[in-house]
Amino acid sequence: MNKKTDFIIGMLFAAATIVFIVLFLTNDMFFNWAFERHHNILSWYIRPLFIIPMVIFAFKKSYTGIFASIFALFTSMFWFPAPAASSPQVLEFLAFEMDYLKGAWTAPKIIMSLAVPLFFFMLLTAAWKRNWKWLLGVIIGAAVLKFIWSVAFSGEAGMSILKPALFGLVVCIGGLSYYFKKHKRTEKM
């Protein structure tokens, strides 16, 4: 795909992601439908895995790949059916998340929420520049901060994200390590 087409398709995915986020935050029926499915913790395990293609596509400088991966990450919260039952911790944590997203948007909350686009910017910049140490630091830092934020603001219920966060962290680091080692070998040939 040529660079112009790649950029245009990438921007379409970026726009679709923005439309999804706006719809999610402004349409209560869609918000509730998506959150019912987000109770399925498979979505908690799959979401961090989209970091791998995001990084690889940033490494390859593909806007389509980057923004399609981001779109997939955001929409994956509702890919799985609503579970028949959820643990009390999961229910409590998701109730906190729902209140957080639907509550008043104060200045501190807006500033804290800017950590999400900042994470994407740092992650993609590190991959684009092929800075493995910075990339590793961003991935580990994001997982740790997400866990701290979850526990600090939702208490014991925040512990429910520990296993998915650790799983995502290990798989991301392992998958990207494999990719970069393989890529270095092909560059040397």
- Sequence-distant (6+) residues with CB within 8 A of 68 are 10, 13, 57
Q: Write the pLDDT tens digit of every residue in 25-79.
A: 999 999 999 988 988 888 888 888 899 999 999 999 999 999 999 999 999 989 9
Return all residues near 125 (Cβ < 8 A) that are at least 6 apart. none
Which residues lie below 8 Å from residue 128, measured CB to CB, with a gap of 6+?
Answer: 58, 59, 61
pLDDT of residue 188: 60
Confidence of residue 107 (pLDDT cuts 50, 70, 90): confident
Cα dihedral value 142, 147, 148, 154, nearest 10: 140
**Residue 24's domain spans which residues?**
3-188
Domain count, the chain: 1
